[in-house]
Structure 1
Amino acid sequence: MTQSVSHSLPLPPHFEAGRVGQVWRVPYQARAEQARAWAKQHAIAPAAKDKTRLCLMAIDVQNTFCIPDFELFVGGRSGQGAVQDNVRLCEFIYRNLGLITEIAPTMDTHTVMQIFHSQFWVNDAGDNPPPMTTISLAQVQQGHWKVNPAIAHSLAKGNYLLLQSYALHYVQTLSQDGKYPLTIWPYHSMLGGIGHALVSAVEEACFFHNIARHSQTNFEIKGGNPLTENYSVLRPEVLDGPDGRPIAQKNTRFIQKLLEFDAVIIAGQAKSHCVAWTIADLLSEIQAQDPALAKKVYLLEDCTSAVVVPGVVDFTDQADAAFQRFADAGMHLVRSTEAIAHWPDLSL
């Protein structure tokens, strides 16, 4: 046995698949005691002893995206996509508890006054754009949408013209770089709110892994910069202001940390947006360093769903096409039910 546990473990008694779509409090102390007993019962060694180091990056597995009736629930084509994905994700964590060295959940994190929220913009009538409004470069140039003067005090020390100049630069940069146009999203993943928290069942699985493997859960916060969108955990959409000075930067530390693992396993929400953006950014970094590193990335395609609003928009085909591009570049498309020991290019 080259790893602490090279076979699939049973699901622990506390896991209830039927509760994955609900919000509840994790009983930490009880789970800590159970995790220690579970590790002893199944001879699960501390993660520090792993010869093959595996990182599970769980992208934005938060209530706001994963619980029905929350702000941006990712239903996928089934209508229950994120809930079903997280049942499989929890089961994957528990069955591979002895193989996963570290879990790195990313946390989409927002406040009210951000460039993609209604409060940031107004029209001549003083109305804010409703959620899901797309703001184009032409609309900003023509003054159809302008920065809300009332937010200048909080975000620019009262310098409204500076903020308006930046807003024009922002949408212009998105257009020039071929990125999605600016979308006004519903208030979601609000810092301090219930929607920001990890899905309870996933949080419980991460906590259980932390205790059983003596491996600190590595939370990565993203999305808090008021002046840029941040779909990817690895870099924001716009890095510089109109004067060329940086307003944000790539998450170089996390990129390098990921690439130091023998394998990076990726799951989360939404497949068409934050997951695809993060993988694309990781692939860009890999191709700049060594294209062969792509083979150490494994995409859990049954633990992620695309944004689908029935009768309005369906990003499934675009998401699947993106995943195929990632596979063509050398990454692996795998399923959570497949034994890790049988994954290609991975020696345990």
Structure 2
Amino acid sequence: MNTQTSKLPIPPHFNPTKVGEVWRVLYQDIAATAETWAKQQNIPPASLDKTRVCLLLIDVQNTFCIPGFELFVGGQSGTAAVDDNLRLCEFIYHNLGKITTIIPTLDTHTAMQIFHPIFWVNANGEHPTPAATNITPADIDNGIWKVNPAVANSVTNGDYELLEKQAYHYVNQLSQEGKYPLIVWPYHSILGGIGHALVSSVEEAIFFHCIARQSQTQFELKGENALTENYSILRPEVLFGFDQSPLAQKNTKLIKQLLEYDVVIIGGQAKSHCVAWTIEDLLTEIKQVDATLANKVYLLEDCTSPVVVPGVVDYTEQADVSFARFAEAGMHIIKSTEVIPLGDTPR
């Protein structure tokens, strides 16, 4: 049972100076260490937990969290994601005996997707500048940007007219639903690449938890659909195509799981985008079932940071407004150093 009220010590293998680096996790060594550690600290298998606690980690991947990678979340400090992940690793180790399941999400992309430069061209055949270009319905209407005909072969089996209709519908839906306009991002989280992988120190902590608590890590992928963004792990930005046929689907299985846990703790990157979108969608699902379920959600405010591009854009205020709304709905905004009140309430 997860009855521990005090924090566990951090295992000696954890090296806080390596959180901002990429390196290979020595699985066999860590597994042996984790089993020994569980015995020394009297950490029971997660299957015995009466209070079931889920730690949902949003996109804690190299592409967002390692300096020099494509979409490093530097925040206002310039080192935000690294600092966040240091605290996150310590949180996992300190609360090892309380966390039942860890669910990391993985932003997962290929090159030819609607938010990558190759998808769009101007009259001169040039691609938009990533991170500095938004595409609106007016941009398409005025011929500023159009779908690159060459990608139709890979995305819609050569049907360029269909691709144009889907792309325009998508951009128009974002506008009508009051969402962020289509942002052209740098190529990132490319499936099979180093950027797609979890941050090494976090991966090590997650694997350590998996072995110590004998609880399989549950990886959740998002973002593979070529014709929609997927900030939230729970649903893509747009569900239906121009002809109202299904374009993508909600992650109904995960939604059901999260609603069934006794406690859901959320951290990751970026606070202003994928984290906020996921929490927003979770809150929407909660309100449809029982608004008081928001009280079981805890947001690790010091393990997440907003997108900030100095001199270009700063989403700090938007992120803070979203989190204030989540708190008003009953969710708890906490720091990773706080003791989470987990009693042994039966499910």
- Name the TM tier (shorter chain): over 0.9
Supply the distance in 1 between the matched residues of 2:179 and 2:47 (Cα, whole angstroms). 40
Moved over 6 A (4+): none
Asked if 2 retains the 8 angstrom alpha-carbon contact of 1:6 and 1:98, the reply is no
Compute the displacement of 1:347 (Å).
2.4
What does the per-residue CA deviation read over 1:54-99, in whole Å, with 9 as the maximum and x for residues that have no partner? 0000100000000001000001111110000000000000000000
Residue 265 of structure 2 is aligned to residue 265 of structure 1: yes
SS in 2 for 1:340: coil
Residue 33 of structure 2 is aligned to residue 37 of structure 1: no
SS in 1 for 2:271: coil
| Counterpart in the other structure of 2:26 | 27
SS in 1 for 2:216: coil
Give the TM-score normalised by structure 1. Answer: 0.97
- The worse-fitting range, judged by mean Cα deviation, of 293-302 and 306-315 is 306-315
| Counterpart in the other structure of 2:163 | 163
Q: Report matched runs for 1:61-210 at 5 Å.
A: 61-132=60-131, 133-210=133-210
Letter in 1 for 2:150: A
| Counterpart in the other structure of 1:234 | 234
Give the TM-score normalised by structure 2. Answer: 0.97
| Counterpart in the other structure of 1:16 | 15
Compute the displacement of 1:7 (Å).
2.2
- The worse-fitting range, judged by mean Cα deviation, of 142-151 and 217-226 is 142-151
Letter in 1 for 2:113: Q
| Counterpart in the other structure of 2:322 | 322
Letter in 1 for 2:99: I
SS in 2 for 1:248: coil
SS in 1 for 2:241: coil
| Counterpart in the other structure of 1:243 | 243
Supply the distance in 2 between the matched residues of 1:5 and 1:225 (Cα, whole angstroms). 42
| Counterpart in the other structure of 2:343 | 347
Supply the distance in 1 between the matched residues of 2:114 and 2:106 (Cα, whole angstroms). 18
| Counterpart in the other structure of 1:308 | 308
Asked if 1 retains the 8 angstrom alpha-carbon contact of 2:3 and 2:343, the reply is no
SS in 1 for 2:264: strand
Letter in 1 for 2:235: R
Asked if 1 retains the 8 angstrom alpha-carbon contact of 2:294 and 2:329, the reply is yes
Gaps of 5+ in 1: none
| Counterpart in the other structure of 1:5 | 4
Matched-pair identity in %: 66
Compute the displacement of 1:276 (Å).
0.3
Compute the displacement of 1:4 (Å).
5.3
SS in 1 for 2:278: helix
- The worse-fitting range, judged by mean Cα deviation, of 137-146 and 241-250 is 137-146
Aligned-residue CA RMSD in angstroms? Answer: 0.9
Q: Report matched runs for 1:324-339 at 5 Å.
A: 324-339=324-339
| Counterpart in the other structure of 1:60 | 59
Asked if 2 retains the 8 angstrom alpha-carbon contact of 1:76 and 1:305, the reply is yes
Q: How many residues of Structure 1 are paired with residues of Structure 2 in the alignment?
A: 343
